[in-house]
Structure 1
Amino acid sequence: MERSRNLCNDHYKVLVSMLIEGNLHIPRTFESEVTDSTTPPFSDKLMMFHITSLLSSAIGYYGEAMSISQRKDLSANYAKMIAEVGLLAEDGMNLLIENEWMEQPPQATDHEDLAKNK
């Protein structure tokens, strides 16, 4: 979770610097919405699932932004951010699997294995 927060802050800084460079509006953050409570309202399992889902969505959003960008510097930043988020998402999925919080998704039929069993 801490790695995710740090990565998001790093990406925010990169994106904000590009907006400042273009004299554009900087959107506000939602830091004021975070409480100082130490009692978790949700389980670790649910939070990890949501974080990995959000990371996967971020990859899609960055990819979409990169596909319509006509600036090389933006595309390079998006490509770098996709790689960073991808590594973090993989680690999150590995945590879900290690804790047995993630089921194996349906697999394609292995026709070669079926043919050997006859």
Structure 2
Amino acid sequence: MQIKWDSEVSKSTIAPFSDKMMLFHIVTLVATASGYYGAAFALSQRRDLGLKYEMLIAEITKYAEDGANLLIKNGWMEQPPTFDDRDKLAKQ
């Protein structure tokens, strides 16, 4: 009996995932990493590490900005939820 593995390399030339989905995941991972650096910075009791964390956060923020600019350029960034205009609703 021969076992067939679905994870083997295929002859397909079509990408299995869209560019939009891959970029979304990368930007999400970068944002998560930035949060982890911030938490490490806040909890670290060593003075010498504070500067290193600060530099890492600044560096990863530039990387995150590049990802966000790509999302905007391709029209893939969605508008975040907004609040209703309470003054306009009160006047109706």
| TM more than 0.5 | yes
Corresponding residue of 1:82:
57
SS in 1 for 2:32: helix
Work out the CA distance in 2 between the residues paired with 1:80 and 1:39: 39
Give 1:45's match in structure 2, choosing from 20, 33, 40: 20
Larger radius of gyration: 2
SS in 2 for 1:49: helix
Work out the CA distance in 1 between the residues paired with 2:26 and 2:46: 30
Deviation at 1:69, TM superposition (A): 0.8
Report matched runs for 1:32-71 at 5 Å.
Answer: 40-71=15-46
Give 1:97's match in structure 2, choosing from 72, 80, 83: 72
* TM-score, length basis structure 2: 0.71
Structure 2 stretches lacking a partner, 5+ long: 1-12
CA RMSD of aligned residues (A): 2.3
Work out the CA distance in 1 between the residues paired with 2:60 and 2:34: 7
- Aligned residue identity for 1:85: I
Q: Percent identity?
A: 53
Structure 1 stretches lacking a partner, 5+ long: 1-37
Deviation at 1:108, TM superposition (A): 3.1
Corresponding residue of 2:81:
106
- Aligned residue identity for 2:81: P
Aligned length: 79
SS in 1 for 2:17: coil
Q: Deviations over 1:5-31 (max 9, x none)?
A: xxxxxxxxxxxxxxxxxxxxxxxxxxx
